[in-house]
Structure 1
Amino acid sequence: MNGQDANGPAPGADAIERIARDTIARLPAAFATHLGDVVLLVEEEADAETLAALGIEHPLDLTGLYHGRPLGEKSSMESGALPDRIHLYRQAILVEWVETGVRLDDLVRHVTIHEIGHHFGLSDDDMHALEDAVVD
């Protein structure tokens, strides 16, 4: 990804989605096989209802969100439920990118893996280990 310079034009949703999809493609097979039904959405920012439900006052304070039930809590008897979703919020990601100086691809990878970790019910330590596995 060439859009690492925070002084140039802001990367669009398509650039963030490309990084996130590349991250997913590089996951170990044991994880990737369980993500086929998870929908990836890149949105400008979280809506007011989502922020209120999470007790977050400002949309720039939320870079990503997993909507769904962790795999370990699902039942084969469930039907008719919406698909699990990973939301990445472009504006909040861009603000964090500029404020921290972290490479955009590293930041999007981190947020994507964090949300994937919620899908699998992983601990923060497990999420960091998964992130390290994708980087290598």
Structure 2
Amino acid sequence: METLEDYLAGIDTPSHHERLEEIFNWISEKFPNLKSEIKWNTPMFTDHGTFILGISTAKQHISVAPEEVTMIRFAEDIAQAGYSATNGMFRIKWKDQVNYELLEKMIAFNIEDKADYTNFWR
């Protein structure tokens, strides 16, 4: 697996495939400077070689991983959106709406916060 298209091709449920493709396209259009990559079999978006956001799928949900620092900063927003969360990621159930405003804030925060960062992970 080398591209987002490769990842999407492995999703058997058409509605899941479409939903994830919609999210990937939204990120690519909203943040055209981000590079989409597959690392550790997970779709990721990076900026100047540093991790910004990872998105993957599970049977019941989409996993969104923006790193723990971002999870802490947006914990209240994640809870208000109705998403369950762990230290490093939150879950969007397939039946739930995607809170694009929250995604935009998290991605913008990571881009700004890691502007001078030279490592992949924080």
TM-score by length of 1: 0.33
Q: Return the index of the structure with the highest Cα Rg.
A: 1
Larger RCO: 1 or 2 (CA < 8 Å, sep 6+): 1
More strand by share: 2
Task: Identify the structure with the greater helix proportion.
Answer: 1
TM-score under structure 2 normalisation? 0.35
